[in-house]
Amino acid sequence: MGARLLGAILGLVLVQVEVAVQDLDLQKIAGFWREVGVASNQNLALKTPKRPEALFLTLSGGELTVKAAYNSSGSCETENIVGSEIDVSGRFVFPGHREIHVIDTDYERYAILRLSLHWQGKAFHVLKYFTRSLEDQDEPGFWRFRELTADTGLYLVARHGRCAELLKEVSIRLAALPAEAPPHRTRRR
């Protein structure tokens, strides 16, 4: 149970680096992101049994909703978690002593996030590299990720998965639907 909980938490948590995006445009960061790379100096953070394949980010006011798609023993699971922005540089806090910090992004092709988590008295940090694409890994973003993680230690490239494809497909369909109108009421005479 402990390893699974840690995996679920680390899947939605980011690591901090000295570099950060200044004045993050929240509307541009919203949408689909596929996890491509993970780096941490803590082996447990990389070997978690439940890692997200993709995220779909939505914004409402100062709140960030993260919908994560996981592959759990061959079937896809999703989880929603809502966090609050704590400053304009792209830092969000989530329940359970978790934090996400957008380190670098070009908004259109890649994003590098830092997840932080305090669990059982220890701080865990993970840098994650995401792309908008299901196919490529966006070379300029990947080289930026490698530059930021050169001294991090352990490193893992994420697997391309079916759950990421499903999350992107469903998210695109939902975004295309018109906003639901309130029910029409008729007055009886």
Instruction: Report which of residues 44 and 125 the model is more confident about.
Output: 125
Ranked by mean pLDDT, the top range of 96-110, 113-127, 151-165 is 96-110
List pLDDT tens digits, range 48-94. Answer: 667 788 999 998 887 889 999 988 777 889 999 999 887 767 888 89
Which single residue is written with the structure tokens 């973003």?
141
Q: What angle do CA 71, 133, 31 make, to 5 degrees?
A: 80
- Spans of all domains in the chain: 9-175
CB 117 within 8 A of CB 45: no
d(CA 38, CA 35): 8
CATH 3.40.50.300 fits 9-175, yes or no: no
Taking CA atoms, 54 is separated from 46, 140, 147, 163, in Å, by: 16, 20, 23, 7
pTM: 0.75
